[in-house]
Amino acid sequence: MERELASPATVRDPKRLADLGREHRRLAPVVELAARLKKNEDDLAQAQELVDTDDPELAAVARAEEQRARAEIAMLEEALKPALLPRDPLHDRPAIVEIRAGTGGDEAALFAADLYRMYTRYCERRGWRVEPIALSEGSLGGIKEVVFKVQGEGAYGRLRWESGVHRVQRVPVTESSGRIHTSAATVAVLPEAEEVDVTIEDKDIRIDVFRSSGPGGQSVNTTDSAVRITHIPSGIVVSQQDQKSQLQNKLKALEVLRARLLDQRLAEQEAERARMRRTQVGTGDRSAKIRTYNYPQNRVTDHRIGFTLHELDRTLDGDLDEMIDRLMLADVEEQLSA
């Protein structure tokens, strides 16, 4: 791989160079683990040759070294198992994230805004770039719906575990009696689709233009710049009005449409595979309640793996790595036991 990275043909192809660079970074830790495993296997073989020696002290040292090497080999073999699983080809794709307020009125919109902040903070922590696509604001500073793209290494591979229904339990700012309410918001994480993934025929879509509404620049409410695209075979409808021109809105809407069509196909494949699995991790069921955020107990619980953290404040501030790492580990364990 290093030879291919340095070849003139690769250097002249930025996409190929980036793909190989990512693969090289992914494989480097695997190569290091394999080298450590080989060394410990050699150490074990040498120790076994000395265990039955006539020198008691040397035999004792050899037995201790044998135990150490066996324990190290077992640990390294476990570490190598997930590293040797087939790589998800979509892992490093940009992610299209959609957050929508669910049941709960204004409180649900406020919670959707909290989730949006949580994910943007998480992206900042990882050095990922967030590009807003569409935003529909609610009252009291809430959000009815927001769509944004996340670009960075492993963006879709890590954020994909956030798809589903998120539930919040807290006293709303609109509640005067102090009663705890339950509200919800839905999150959908879609891999950015390339044109080779999804082909959209002109005959399969209907494009309507209309006048933009809401706050914005000079073009809002003055020109028919907003675009609505209906994909006739699937019934998927995408509206876009946040960009200044009709062409920009059309391009953004097609980007989201391709992502939704690819996600629909992936969800069907994941649901089929899930019939052979023990849990609901990665089933593609976007209607399942996956997580509860309980404010009175400062608790967040992921129901797919039964994992609870009493650090809700840190989680909402974008500290999601431990939760996502455990979800990814649970998926690896399912694949290994399948």
Q: What is the DSSP letter of 203?
A: G
Evaluate whether 179 touches 204 at the Cβ level (below 8 Å). Answer: no
- Domain locations along the chain: 2-83, 95-196+275-337, 202-267
Q: What is the DSSP letter of 22?
A: H
Query: Structure pTM?
Result: 0.73
Per DSSP, helices labelled H in the chain are 2-6, 8-11, 14-50, 56-83, 105-126, 155-159, 246-274, 312-316, 321-337
The structure tokens 């052979």 sit at 276
Strand ranges across the sheet with 307-309: 129-137, 143-151, 95-101, 181-191, 164-170, 289-294, 299-302, 307-309
Average pLDDT over residues 15-36: 75
Evaluate whether 107 touches 181 at the Cβ level (below 8 Å). Answer: yes
The per-residue pLDDT for 158 is: 94
- Packing angle of the helix pair 56-83, 14-50 (nearest 10 deg): 160
Min mean pLDDT across 3-12, 75-84, 166-175 is at 3-12
Min mean pLDDT across 39-48, 49-58, 125-134 is at 49-58
DSSP secondary structure, 253-295, as one string: HHHHHHHHHHHHHHHHHHHHHHTTSSS-TT---TTSEEEEEET
User: Residue 276 — very low, low, confident or very high, per pLDDT cuts 50/70/90?
Assistant: very low
* pLDDT tens per residue across span 280-305: 455 445 567 999 999 999 999 999 99
The per-residue pLDDT for 281 is: 54
The per-residue pLDDT for 139 is: 82
Min mean pLDDT across 86-95, 241-250, 270-279 is at 270-279
What CATH number should be reported for the domain whose range is 202-267?
A: 3.30.160.20
CA–CA separation, 82 and 160 (whole Å): 18
User: Residue 9 — very low, low, confident or very high, per pLDDT cuts 50/70/90?
Assistant: low
The answer to whether domain 95-196+275-337 and domain 202-267 are alike in fold is no
Average pLDDT over residues 16-28: 69
Residue 260 has pLDDT above 80, yes or no: yes
The per-residue pLDDT for 62 is: 92
Percent of the chain predicted with pLDDT > 90 = 53
Q: Which CATH class is domain 95-196+275-337?
A: alpha beta
Looking at every residue in the chain, the average pLDDT score rounds to 85
Evaluate whether 166 touches 136 at the Cβ level (below 8 Å). Answer: no
**Beta-carbon neighbour count of residue 256 at 10 Å?**
23
